[in-house]
Amino acid sequence: MAKLYFYYSSMNAGKTTVLLQSAHNYRERGMHPLLFTPAVADRCREGVIRSRIGLEADALVFDSDADLLERVQRELDQGKIHCVLVDEAQFLTRSQVFQLSEVVDRLEIPVLCFGLRTDFQGELFEGSRYLLAWSDQLEEIKTICHTGRKATMVVRVDGDGYALKEGSQVEIGGNERYVPVSRKAFKDVFLGGKQISRIDSLEQAPGEPFHDVPSAPGHQENSTNQES
């Protein structure tokens, strides 16, 4: 049976890389993945999902008003779809998470969502909140904090490495703005006011070689839209 998956992590854990590898795995087997990326995630050119290590693939762009069930159905009318993959899934709305659950339950197509769990203030994103509540399966993609502990949170920093405590929840940026941290380090930096060293954007993010790549994206589920 098709399932709704949520793969979550802090920054720099390789979520997008895993998504793109998953899409490649499906295509390599003659199957057809459908990729989505939110319009707000504009770190690359529109309609392209790109990882920090240079992998990329075309994707459909959606905004907060888009009906993802209707869009999947429209694509399905043109040909077979074997899975749906959503990048930056924290930016989904509550309604869109429900629509994706309908893709699973009504169309019997597996949906794999990849995103952050919490924002720079330690609060859940709307999309992440409902994915945590409604997904059939949750998987954490791991990375590490500068302290050596597992990074589970993220802080937004200024040019001097001090945490910013106020601002819009959505502000696109990379290593120059966000640092993955453990819960303890989050308390020290965000609540305690300690300075943190930013990651050089030209260097590989610490911890990326050590994250656990989940096996689930490489699998193929049985569904009415899959070839046997």
- Helical residues (DSSP H) of the chain, grouped into ranges: 15-28, 68-76, 94-105, 126-134, 183-186
- On whether the CB atoms of residues 123 and 16 are closer than 8 A, the answer is no
CA separation, residue 87 to residues 80, 147, 150 (Å):
21, 28, 22
Residue 164 token pair: 């910013």
Residue 126 a catalytic site member: no
What are the DSSP E strand ranges found in the chain? 4-9, 33-38, 48-50, 56-58, 60-62, 83-86, 111-116, 137-140, 153-156, 178-181
The SS3 of residue 161 is: coil
Q: Which amino acid is at 68?
A: L
CA distance 75 to 95: 20
* Bridging pattern class, strands 4-9 and 111-116: parallel
Within its chain, how far is the Cα of 195 from the centroid?
27
CA–CA distance, 169 with 162 (Å, rounded to integer): 17
Catalytic option among 28, 56, 70, 88: 88
So which residues are the catalytic ones? 88
